[in-house]
């Protein structure tokens, strides 16, 4: 079996897309929390957004790592 070489060309763009999608999902969940009166739904959405915020931190760290790797060549 042949292994695929590490192709990092589009990693930053892919991570940026993931960040944009995650931010969109956070905003949508915020709107849903505002529109619902169900406390369980609000709690679930709040929990999801907390996980999304953690994911954003990870994505931002990945972008920094990728930028550093590009500088090193």
Task: Write out pLDDT tens, residues 35-71.
Answer: 999 999 999 999 999 999 999 999 999 999 988 888 8
What count of other Cβ atoms lies within 10 Å of the Cβ of residue 59?
19
Whether residue 42 is contained in a domain is answered as yes
Whether residue 1 is contained in a domain is answered as no
Whether residue 5 is contained in a domain is answered as no
Whether residue 6 is contained in a domain is answered as no
Cα–Cα distance, 7 to 60 (Å, whole number): 19
Our count of domains for the chain comes to: 1
Q: What is the pTM of this model?
A: 0.82
Which domain range does residue 62 map to? 12-28+36-72
Whether residue 44 is contained in a domain is answered as yes
Q: What is the pLDDT of residues 5-41, one digit of tens each?
A: 666 778 888 999 999 999 999 999 999 999 999 999 9
Tokens representing 72 are 């090193």
């Amino acid at each position: 079996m042949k292994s695929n070489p590490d192709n990092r060309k589009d990693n930053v763009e892919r991570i940026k897309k993931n960040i944009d999608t995650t931010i969109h999902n956070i905003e949508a969940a915020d709107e849903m929390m505002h529109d619902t009166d169900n406390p369980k739904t609000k709690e679930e959405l709040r929990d999801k957004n907390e996980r999304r915020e953690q994911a954003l931190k990870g994505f931002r760290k990945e972008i920094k790592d990728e930028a550093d790797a590009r500088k090193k060549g």
